[in-house]
Amino acid sequence: MNTVKQILRPPVIIAALGYFVDIYDLLLFSIVRVPSLQALGKSGEALLHDGIFLINIQMAGLLTGGILWGILGDKRGRLSVLFGSILLYSLANLANGFVTTVPQYAVLRFIAGVGLAGELGAGITLVAEILPKHIRGYGTTLVASVGLFGAVLAYIVAEFTDWQVAYWIGGGLGLCLLLLRYSVAESGMFAEVREKKVARGNFFMLLSRGPLLANYLRCILIGLPIWFVIGILVTFSPEFAVSMNLPEAIDAGKAVMCCYIGLSLGDLSSGVLSQVLKSRKKVVLIFLFFTAGAMAVYLTAAGLSAAAFYTRCFFLGFAIGYWALFVTIAAEQFGTNIRATVATTVPNFVRGTVVPLTLAFEWLRLHHSMIFSAWAVGGASLLIAALALWKMKETFGKDLQFIE
């Protein structure tokens, strides 16, 4: 019972709720992409092309915000990032409900992306630093597992309200969450480092030191398959369904919801399994194999019913359910003086890989079928992730009270 009380401390609960709202707002565009663009006068191929453009703009915001909030997290503190990021993306998402043109939509998705970039990394860093090393995996798993259900709420809200109202609700939830932030204390590890004369939040340290850079790149590359699945296979599920000649139309929002239910359960499973096996690497490898199998089943779903297709989206989500583990590994690899920088930039750089992944996918589609293009890009992402994992250091039970 003492372990449960330690895990269910206010910072863990608040971080989980924060990530819940973060995922709601992050995935809302994928869910309301079609109706919102139709409301702006788009149809046919424009729904796909403008959708890819807006996702790439949002991801560009995540890349920018990842660096910004990561540096601030190590210079000013984990809590300052939690406050600042949620305020920015909440206001941006409120404004998204008022857009009338695609350029307006693009500007606001970029701003929202910048804001959304800070929540997960700062939350995982804070939780990892305040919990004992032998149970911190449970804490970070809880944050991600609860948070990912934000996608389910986003789908339910979008299903029963107008897409504009869905944006306003997301922004309102974020502003309400700010009131809870005042009950959370700063990380003790960060407070100690702040009193020392040591460089904090130096992003260029990661780029200028060979061993740090290699380790940093490995942390990013093991997450490639996660956002290939979310950013391409699930986001554009209606187009894949047409390509596979499914007899029924597929709702992108429902596909996203099914994927994220699976992802949340997968995160819970991978986190618990890593504690049981006392290894992060072994569990990530297991889930990479799961992902390869789930991709194969999804891309051979020709002619199946909509229910069978949504079931495949669920299994895709479960298979990529090492997201919490992946971010935890990034936080555990580096010292307290650059931990927030790493933990915040790594997931956002992985999210940002949707840009080159979608560009590669679109280029291949000019010469090959949609299914072949997905096989090629997905297979490459899995191979790269496996090679990155091969050379990565095990971090289970590592003492985090050190500096670079």
Q: Which of 151, 135, 153 is nearest to 264 (CA)?
A: 151
Quick one: average pLDDT of 338-355?
87
Check whether 192 has a pLDDT greater than 60.
yes
Quick one: average pLDDT of 363-377?
92
Pure H helices in 149-280: 150-160, 163-180, 188-194, 203-208, 210-221, 224-228, 237-243, 252-277
> What pLDDT score was predicted for residue 128?
85
pLDDT confidence bin for 183, thresholds 50/70/90: low
> What pLDDT score was predicted for residue 48?
79
Distances from the Cα of 228 to the Cαs of 294, 329, 366, in angstroms?
13, 20, 19
Task: Give pLDDT tens digits for 41-77.
Answer: 888 778 878 888 888 888 889 889 989 998 988 888 8
> What pLDDT score was predicted for residue 176?
87
Please report how many Cα atoms fall inside a 13 Å half-sphere around the Cα of residue 152, on the Cβ side.
16
Q: How far apart are CA 122 and CA 106, in angstroms?
A: 26
Higher pLDDT, 145 or 342: 342
The answer to whether the beta carbons of residues 157 and 169 sit under 8 Å apart is: yes
pLDDT confidence bin for 163, thresholds 50/70/90: very high
Report residue 21 as tokens: 């709202």
Task: Give pLDDT tens digits for 257-295.
Answer: 899 889 989 998 998 999 899 999 999 999 999 999 999
Quick one: average pLDDT of 379-392?
95
Q: How far apart are CA 228 and CA 382, in angstroms?
A: 9
Quick one: average pLDDT of 86-91?
90
Residue type, 305: S
Q: Domain 2-390 carries which CATH code?
A: 1.20.1250.20
Could you state, in order of their start, the residue ranges of all structural domains in the chain? 2-390
Check whether 315 has a pLDDT greater than 90.
yes
